[in-house]
Amino acid sequence: MKNPFWCLIQSANKYLIVPFFLIFVQSFGQERSTTYFYSSNERMPLAYLRVQVEGGSFMGFTDLTGKLEYLKKEIPENSLINISGYGINDTLLSVKRIWEVGAIFLKAKEFELPVIAINSTVLSELKIGNASGKVREVSNPIVTVRGSKGEFYRYTIRVKIPKKKQLYLDEIKFYVSKVLEEKVDVSIRILVPKKGFQIYQGKINSIKDFSELLQGNKVVEVSKPGWMKVNLDGSVLIPEGVKDLFIVFDLLENEPKSKFALADQGVSKDIDLGFYITGGEIGVFNSDKFHPAVELTFLKE
């Protein structure tokens, strides 16, 4: 005869196994993974890189140490991952490759890092744009839909540079629209075409044909609407022969919550709305009466 107490224990075990199995499955799906990103030449951490599933909804950013944390369940197993940001060309990798290694090394872009030497003690200002001019509000940010959450478009602006012997970029201002709902960190990049490269309206170019002008990541916190000034930590020499300067505003948010947008102005023929599409396609739209509200101050000898 079976011991009735043993039967009860066996029955209890049957019911205990099921919830334990469910907990194991759920824990596996919520497993957090970590990947580090470095420059392959200097072995330096790559901060504020945008890491995005191509055609999917996942998007994340690396921190100051180059670290990206994510849940594996957020990324389909056969996905391709697009990586972009300051100091690199846009790169497409298999997520399996990222899962296989603990660190990814990416080739750094070319940099325009001339030594700043202002010989003249008398410099005059040259402004493109007008922070005192009339601003036209917008009702929504520029947005492109990506998966279930959506993704706010990078704001990209092309500024035409006048033909001068020597120019130094001294200051950038931009006007944040009143549609802003939450504070957000914004990474600002300044890109210039490589020597001899021509920019035409409507033409799609590759980010590989552009160089970084700033010496490091420039991140500003946007917490309220109105004009904002970007501190460049010193005047930046514009390389000789440069006729076009691109300013890229990249939002450091995983979901489109901030409603960050630039207001419009119609004060300059030298400012145009540009585009920088995930995958490294960059260019400028055809000229319009209105353009994003920015003001650039240059110093000239």
Cα radius of gyration (the chain): 25
pTM: 0.82
Which whole-number Å values give the CA distances from 279 to 93, 141, 249, in the listed order? 11, 21, 16
Classify domain 124-300 by CATH number.
Answer: 2.60.120
Range with lowest mean pLDDT among 15-19, 83-87, 147-151, 297-301: 15-19
59 pLDDT more than 90:
no
195 pLDDT more than 80:
yes
pLDDT score for 240 = 86
pLDDT score for 243 = 93
What whole-number distance in Å separates Cα of residue 199 and Cα of residue 5? 84
21 pLDDT more than 60:
no
Question: What percent of the chain is predicted at pLDDT more than 90?
Answer: 55
Structural tokens at position 29 = 């799906």
Query: Is there a common fold for 32-106 and 124-300?
Result: no
Q: Which pLDDT tens digit goes with each residue over 94-107?
A: 998 888 888 999 98
Would you list the domain boundaries of the chain? 32-106, 124-300
Q: Would you say domain 32-106 falls under CATH 2.60.40.3080?
A: no
Q: Which pLDDT tens digit goes with each residue over 62-86?
A: 999 999 999 888 888 889 999 999 9
Q: Which residues contact 189 (CB under 8 A, 6 or more apart)?
A: 86, 212, 214, 218, 247, 248, 250
What whole-number distance in Å separates Cα of residue 125 and Cα of residue 12? 82
Q: Which pLDDT tens digit goes with each residue over 211-255?
A: 999 988 899 999 999 999 998 888 899 998 899 999 999 999 888
pLDDT band at 93 (very low <50, low <70, confident <90, very high): very high
5 pLDDT more than 50:
no
